[in-house]
Amino acid sequence: MRGIIRLVIILLAIVKSSFFWKHKKVEPKRILIAHDLLLGDTLLLAPLMKRLHEKYPHSQKYILVKPLFVPLFKAKPYGFIPLKYNPKSFLDIYQIFLTGPYDQTFVVGDNRFSWLARALGSMWIIGIGDDKPHWKNWMVDEAKSFDIKPATWADMMGRLVDGINPKPYQYNEWTLPNLKKLSELVAISSPYVICHLGASSSLKLWPKTSWQNLIEALVQKGLKIILSAGPGEEYLARELDPQQKYIHVAGKYSLEDMWALIKDAKLLVSVDTGIAHIAKFTNTPLVTLFGPGSPVCHGAGNFWEKSPHIDVTKNGFICRDQNILFRRKIDWVKRCGRQKGECKTPGACMEIITSQEVIASISKNFNL
């Protein structure tokens, strides 16, 4: 099915490129952000969304979103209407087609979505150039470059519009209405800390003993502990806390529920993964543990400069030596995107982060 959908998109894109004018309107009526990113990178499009809203407040604005993430957009942040997008669904693409045609489309991450944008009738397509392989760039009308100086990916996306930063994030700009208190928390009167154990890669997991040492220190401060992880990662909480002395919510709740949980937390400690970015929106104090990833690329940056956060990492770690971001080479990038089978020292960049470092950073920066 996905192959048939791709063929239809390619054919439509070629036809519309051949027979329809491409033109950049000064005041676009309809704007689309096209992508198929994971949770973290989807949330990090907030600077781009805000800048588009600042520049074109009266335009109709849409963003493609994985079905699982749609509830996070129910309040239409920055005026953006989420369009459910599953690349294997003809119905989703048809519904997206009905909201078009679009005057401008911003393609983020993978430039293959410029072909989808053209097939949907986009008159002008903007994205980061030099994607690989080169055919992905053929439908991009205005190719931008990543920054030549270190910056977060989120900040760079915000400058896709006209090179100007949006105003920094203010608390409650992006909210979820009618959030309900989770059943596990009704009887809790003490402040609680969420320890999010899961990650998109096993190379990002922090050792069990490090988590245990951190948790013991937090418990001594009178804090309740909630252990969190994504669906299929429940074993991480069981291995860490076999006697279930703490509250386990791993795999239990929707993203909307997790937003509510993080919003009321005293602190979120997480590895570098999508859930961590929610704390930037709820103004929850955040500690992010960076191993293979880069706090320069995926930290708070300018947009979330007012968000209470700490990035804990080992600077200059020897195998964080790749300078590729979304298949583009950037000289200043220092990260590791290797898979488990490619890593010669699996977990070393996380093991070198000690619980003592994390505890000291929390004590220094947060009133706990």
pLDDT in tens, 157-209: 999 999 899 999 999 899 998 887 777 676 676 799 999 999 988 899 999 99
For the chain, the residue count is 368
Range of the domain at 139: 2-158
What one-letter code names the amino acid at 47?
Answer: P
DSSP state of 345: S
Tell me, yes or no, whether 174 lies in a domain.
Answer: no
**What pLDDT shows up at residue 173?**
95
Question: How far is Cα 42 from Cα 100, in angstroms, rounded to an integer?
Answer: 21
Pair 226, 307 in one domain: yes
The 8-class DSSP code of residue 177 comes to: T
* Distance, CA of 309 to CA of 154 (rounded, Å): 16
CB 304 within 8 A of CB 281: no
pLDDT-derived band at 10, boundaries 50, 70, 90: confident
Do 58 and 136 lie in one domain? The reply is yes
Tell me whether residue 83 is in a domain.
yes
- Asked if residue 178 is part of any domain, the answer here is no
CA 308 to CA 365: how far, in whole Å? Answer: 9
How far apart are alpha carbons 205 and 4 in whole angstroms? 38
For residues 144 and 225, membership in a common domain is answered with no
The three-state DSSP-derived secondary structure of the chain is CHHHHHHHHHHHHHHHHHHCCCCCCCCCCEEEEECCCCHHHHHCCHHHHHHHHHHCCCCEEEEEECHHHHHHHCCCHHHEEEEECCCCCHHHHHHHHHHCCCCEEEECCCCCHHHHHHHCCCCCEEEECCCCCHHHHCCCCEEECCCCCCCCHHHHHHCCCCCCCCCCCCCCCCCCCCCCCCHHHCCCCCCEEEEECCCCCHHHCCCHHHHHHHHHHHHHCCCEEEEECCCCCHHHHHHHCCCCCCEECCCCCCHHHHHHHHHCCCEEEEECCHHHHHHHHHCCCEEEECCCCCHHHHCCCCCCCCCCEEEECCCCCCCCCECEECCEECCCCCECCCCHHHCCCCCHHHHCCCHHHHHHHHHHHCCC
73 in a structural domain: yes
If asked whether residues 56 and 188 sit together in one domain, one would say no
**158, 193, 214 — which closes off a domain?**
158
Domain boundary among 111, 141, 158: 158
DSSP 264: T
**Residue 92 belongs to a domain with what CATH number?**
3.40.50.2000
Assess whether pLDDT exceeds 90 at residue 17: no
On whether both 309 and 239 belong to a single domain, the answer is yes
**In the predicted model, what is the mean pLDDT of the chain?**
92
CA-to-CA distance for 330 and 15, rounded, in angstroms? 34
User: pLDDT digit string (tens) for 232-281?
Assistant: 999 999 999 999 999 999 988 899 999 999 999 999 999 999 999 999 99
Q: What is the pLDDT of residues 211-225, one digit of tens each?
A: 999 999 999 999 999
CA gap 364, 305 in Å, rounded? 18
Question: Where is the domain boundary, 158, 175, 192?
Answer: 158
Give yes or no: residues 219 and 134 share one domain. Answer: no
Residue position matching structure tokens 């055919």: 135
Which residue, among 129, 164, 142, has the nearest Cα to 48 in the 3D structure? 164
Query: Looking at the 3D structure of the chain, how many domains does it have?
Result: 2
Does one domain contain both 222 and 353?
yes
Dihedral pair phi/psi, residue 59, rounded to 5°: -75, 150
| 17/213: higher pLDDT | 213
pLDDT at 368: 78
In a domain, 169, yes or no: no
Longest CA–CA separation in the chain, Å: 69
Instruction: Look at residue 122 and tell me whether its pLDDT is greater than 70.
Output: yes
Beta bridge partners of 196: 228, 270
Q: Are the C-beta atoms of residues 24 and 142 closer than 8 Å to each other?
A: yes
The pLDDT of residue 1 is: 67
Question: Is position 176 within any domain?
Answer: no
Residue 167: name the closest of 53, 276, 74, 310 by CA: 53
In a domain, 57, yes or no: yes
Q: What is the pTM of this model?
A: 0.94
Q: Would you say residue 207 lies in a domain? A: yes
CB contact at 8 A, 257 and 321: no
Q: What is the mean pLDDT of residues 31-45?
A: 97
Q: Are residues 224 and 352 in the same domain?
A: yes
Q: Which residue has the tokens 């993080």?
A: 262
- Res 72 pLDDT > 70: yes
Q: Which of 155, 133, 125, 365 is nearest to 269 (CA)?
A: 365
**DSSP code of 173?**
S
How much is the average pLDDT of 127-140?
95
